[in-house]
Structure 1
Amino acid sequence: MGWDVDLAKEFKKRTNSTPYGPVIGKVIGVNPLRISIFDGKVIISKMYVCSRISVEIDDNVLCIPTADEQKYFIVDKVV
């Protein structure tokens, strides 16, 4: 195959990604709050945090992505 076909396939992979839903994250920093998801491959720093949540380093939390998957809602600790 030519380079143009390979390039088109790469564009198709990028634009047809499968959206993901709620994930469990691990708190890696508290001030500022930072959460690791997908085995450390993604670090969340842009998020909406529920007002009653109080977390410490190494706590697991429920993270729900916004529709555009650019920010997360941090809902609660997960035990």
Structure 2
Amino acid sequence: MSYDVEFAKMLKERNNKKAIGAITGKVVSVNPFKISIFDGQILLKKEQLYFCNSILDNYIREYQTSEINTEQWGSTQKIKLTDTLKVDDEVMLIAAENGQTFFAIDKVVKL
């Protein structure tokens, strides 16, 4: 194969990278956060990660409930979620367009 054809193929491959899509990663450290992907081939550091609030330590969410009883009372309560990320947890990750930044969506388990 001639050099110019080989070079053109290399340019085409470089410009047509496939999107990573949704993947799973494994938490290897929580302080600081580090998540491994592709069976440990790549280690993501906290600077490359964005986390959904619900999987962070001590996330507090406020809920409002309506109760129907003789006094017609409802209530607003705060719930503190403590089931947060730990070492060896599996997480669902979605890659940004640049392929260098990832969004940690939630913990996942395989049944």
Scaled by the length of structure 2, the TM-score of the pair is 0.64
Deviations 1:18-38 (A, max 9, x none): 112110111111111111111
- Say which structure is richer in strand: 2
RMSD between superposed Cα atoms in Å: 1.4
Identity of aligned residues (%): 43
Gaps of 5+ in 2: 56-83
Deviations 1:27-55 (A, max 9, x none): 11111111111122222221101122121
Aligned residue pair count: 79
Scaled by the length of structure 1, the TM-score of the pair is 0.85
**Consecutive aligned runs of 4 or more in structure 1 exceeding 6 Å deviation:** none
| CA distance in 2 between partners of 1:5 and 1:19 (Å) | 25
Gaps of 5+ in 1: none
| CA distance in 1 between partners of 2:7 and 2:42 (Å) | 26
Structure index of larger Rg: 2
